[in-house]
């Protein structure tokens, strides 16, 4: 069973978080629905970590298993097509060994806080470095 690593970005404003929940739409649910619409398979998309409601991601890693191999670019493009109009984008898809696990194989996680300080967002300050 081929396994694929996905690199994902999303605007989490309209989501209850990463994980499937009964009280609203999640990023995980949107991805799983898009994969199902593409190839008819019911899959579980496993994220490297979970985000809370309203949290955004710039490069979150996830993995999924399919029953048949598909070209990574086809998987990326098809899932993105079926995600529309959700504010989620698969930036990359690549085959990985069966023992790859998005959560357990992660070597680091980076979280950036967003707030206002001296009329500049902390996100911009983190991206540009100190002293801006």
CA dihedral angle for residue 61, residue 63, residue 69, residue 73, rounded to 10 degrees: -20
Annotated active-site residue in 52, 65, 99, 101: 52
Q: Are 4 and 67 in contact (CB under 8 A)?
A: no
- 76 DSSP assignment: H
Known catalytic residue: 101? no
Q: Are 114 and 57 in contact (CB under 8 A)?
A: no
Instruction: Please state, in angstroms and as integers, the Cα–Cα distance from residue 45 to each residue in 95, 110, 124, 128, following that order.
Output: 14, 20, 31, 33
DSSP 48-71: SS--BTT--EEEEEEEEE-SS---
Catalytic residue annotation: 52
């Amino acid at each position: 069973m081929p396994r694929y690593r996905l690199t994902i970005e999303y605007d989490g404003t309209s989501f209850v978080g990463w994980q499937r929940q009964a009280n609203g739409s999640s990023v995980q649910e949107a991805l799983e629905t898009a994969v199902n619409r593409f190839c008819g398979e019911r899959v579980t998309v496993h994220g490297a970590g979970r985000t809370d409601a309203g949290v955004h991601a710039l490069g979150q890693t996830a993995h999924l298993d399919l029953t048949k191999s598909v070209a990574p670019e086809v998987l990326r493009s098809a899932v993105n097509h079926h995600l529309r109009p959700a504010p989620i984008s698969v930036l990359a898809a690549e085959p990985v060994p069966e023992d790859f696990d998005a959560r357990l194989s992660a070597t680091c996680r980076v979280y950036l806080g967003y707030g206002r300080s001296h009329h500049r967002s902390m996100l911009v300050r983190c991206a540009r470095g100190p002293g801006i």
